Amino acid sequence: MPTVLSSGPYRFYFYGHEPDEPPHIHVDRDDQSAKFWLTPVGLGRNLRFSPQELRKIERLVQNNQQELLEAWYGWFGNPSG
């Protein structure tokens, strides 16, 4: 599971065996975890993050969306080309 980005206490990564799902990123901190879709950015799943912290993480995903998408397509390939 490649780590794509680290920001403060957050680790952003994806699993190498999820090519059939739309582009997304997993985010962990301690025993908390979330999954965000990348196009468009939106919460897919949350395990124990507070609503306030989820908003902060969503902003990080939005601010790094291009880098996260490039990492996704670099690993899984771009279906449009």
The domain of 48 spans 3-76
How many distinct structural domains can be found in the chain? Answer: 1
1 — pLDDT class (breaks 50, 70, 90): confident
Query: Tokens at residue 80, please?
Result: 């449009």
Residue partners of 50: CB distance under 8 A and separation at least 6: none
**Does residue 13 fall inside a structural domain?**
yes
80 pLDDT more than 70? no
Per-residue pLDDT reduced to its tens digit, 24-67? 999 999 999 999 999 999 999 999 999 999 999 999 999 999 99
CB 32 within 8 A of CB 15: no
Residue from 14, 23, 9, 2 nearest 53 by CA: 9
**Does residue 72 fall inside a structural domain?**
yes
Question: pLDDT at position 10, please?
Answer: 98
Question: pLDDT at position 18, please?
Answer: 79
**Does residue 81 fall inside a structural domain?**
no
**Does residue 20 fall inside a structural domain?**
yes
**Does residue 37 fall inside a structural domain?**
yes
